[in-house]
Amino acid sequence: MLGFTGALIVILAFLLFSSIKILPEFQRGVVLTLGRYTGTKGPGLVLLLPVAQRMIRVDLRVNVMDVPPQDVISRDNVSVRVNAVVYFRVVDPDKSVLEVADFYQATSQLAQTRLRSVLGQHELDEILSQRDSINHVLQTILDEATDPWGIKIANVEIKDVDINETMVRAIARQAEAERERRAKVIHAEGEMQAAEKLRDAAAMLSQQPQAMQLRYLQTMADMASNGKSSTIVFPLPLDLIKPLMGAIGPKSV
């Protein structure tokens, strides 16, 4: 009789101990009573009915998920391997338990499929240069898809975009050709601007003959100041000798 009483006391103590739960601030407990959802408890001390109630712990902290590298065909038919990282957290503990069997695995699979789908709609140049906008699109799509599971997608970041060596060389050649094209355009624009300035200067000098003469004299002075002993043949403008020729005039016999 004493042995039976002792065993009963031990069983009751075990049931009492198992009915007391303590949840930290970052956890919530989804309580099922006889298999039915009866509420979310926590944080702090939680008392459960032995045998009749069961509690499932849910962590509310931000989870970091690495999306494995995915083979993606871009819109311009370039094959790349892209991986990403997803930051998410549980906002409705009851939905994360009742609506999906494994919310972490479900979110991971969804992130992989959406990553391939979204990147397949962009060209390679856009994937490399517009990561911020693509990250925002992925975050919005995943957030809408996981909302019924009580999951909030905080952020999505594309980490690495791997391209094969052949495509890397092709991109390098394309970039070099683009730089050469821009250099030629800049050179042509400079020539055009210089020609316009020369045209304006010529038009201005043509309106003032004295200015033309002064320009000739200045050029001669610059050439003489070089200090090199050389013979310079310089065309003499007719404007300089016209007044002299007019003064002399033809002599009558």
Predicted confidence (pLDDT) per residue in 200-220, tens digit? 777 776 676 666 666 666 666
Question: In 3D, which of 82, 184, 94, 192 has the Cα closest to residue 128?
Answer: 82
Between 68-77, 89-98, 139-148, the lowest mean confidence (pLDDT) is in 68-77
- What's the pTM value of the predicted model, to 2 decimals? 0.65
Q: What is the pLDDT of residue 109?
A: 94
Is the Cβ–Cβ distance between 63 and 104 less than 8 Å? yes
Between the alpha carbon of residue 204 and those of residues 4, 51, 94, 181, the distances in Å are 122, 104, 85, 35
Structural domains of the chain in order of their starting residue, each with its CATH number: 16-59 (no CATH), 63-168 (3.30.479.30)
What's the DSSP call for residue 187? H
The three-state secondary structure class of 237 is: coil
Buried b (16+ CB within 10 A) or exposed e, 158-196: beebebeeeeeeeeeeeeeeeeeeeeeeeeeeeeeeeee
Report the pLDDT averaged over residues 164-175: 71
The three-state secondary structure class of 56 is: strand
Q: Which amino acid is at 25?
A: E
Between 57-66, 92-101, 215-224, the lowest mean confidence (pLDDT) is in 215-224
Between the alpha carbon of residue 78 and those of residues 24, 67, 135, 216, the distances in Å are 49, 21, 20, 63
Work out the angle between the directed axes of helices 165-207 and 209-224 (0-180°, nearest 10).
120
Within a 10 A sphere around the Cβ of 156, how many other Cβ atoms?
26
Query: Highest mean pLDDT range out of 86-90, 232-236, 238-242?
Result: 86-90
What's the DSSP call for residue 86? E
44 bridge partner residues: 23
User: Where does the pLDDT of residue 191 fall: very low under 50, low under 70, confident under 90, or very high at 90 and above?
Assistant: confident
Q: Both tokens of residue 179?
A: 């730089």
